[in-house]
Structure 1
Amino acid sequence: MADETFALHQLVARDRRYPIEAYFFVRDALSYAADSMELSNQYRHETEVYESAEEHHLTGQQLCEAIREFALNQFGLMARIVLKNWGIVSTSCFGDIVYNMIEIGLMKKSDQDRRSHFNDVYEFEPAFDEQFEICSSLVKRRV
């Protein structure tokens, strides 16, 4: 973890477009995707797990969707504002972050992956504002 943090600090010093929090957020969104978007189920057979979550592969589009869901879960209606505060204004920015992390060895890509797979996956305003739903199971009911 210390090596990862050090590598990210060096990366942010070299490429100042996004703060280190944005990199940690994208990394955490990748873990979220493996845990919650049924990606781990495709690698399970009964009770045996054949691969760890770190070995699962996501397309750029899948990762963008996972980031959207994770951001809404973490920040609610403030998601787009938090991302904008970090300089993230489009899904292309996610691609910048992912490919920077690939460059320093903190993420991996397949031969089929392209940086362009992150371009124009969705528009931020409708994806974060119009599609936001308050889940009744998360809201405390008043008696």
Structure 2
Amino acid sequence: MDPLFFRDTEKTRAFGYRRRPNGSMPIEVHEEIGTHIKSVMAHSFLRPGVYQRLDRVRGELDDWLQREDEGRTLDNDRFFAVHFHGAPESTYSRTTTGALRVEGLSRLERVEQLLQQHYPDCEPLRAMLGRLGSAKKSLRCWGATGKVPA
């Protein structure tokens, strides 16, 4: 077996040199997750520890959704709106408020809950949850008057 390629397992599905959970989420759940991630990203544009991790998470979720909808039941407009289009306008602030931080943490906790509810426990899911945990940690450390590192 080529070490760059994975095989399907009971809990994962391979696609090229990556894996995703063996399962699928309803499109409505993907849309809810996308709304939460886009909202947090809009408020943390200048906080790389949050923004970059969430950007990677949404890219992976977009890949997973694409594989889950291989029959192309979604029209392109709806598909692209799930994780990328329709995001709130980004705020370019080097500080955040306590309220936005609490809201962001709540949104990311909801994302974690939904992912765990709809996908089996497996390495790709655990890696994604780890990135979400790191994003939450960065968000927690971003004080109301704290500056984004240069």
The verdict on a shared fold, with TM-score over 0.5 as the criterion, is no
Highest RCO, 1 vs 2 (Cα 8 Å, sep ≥ 6):
2
Q: TM-score, normalised by structure 2?
A: 0.31
Q: TM-score, normalised by structure 1?
A: 0.32
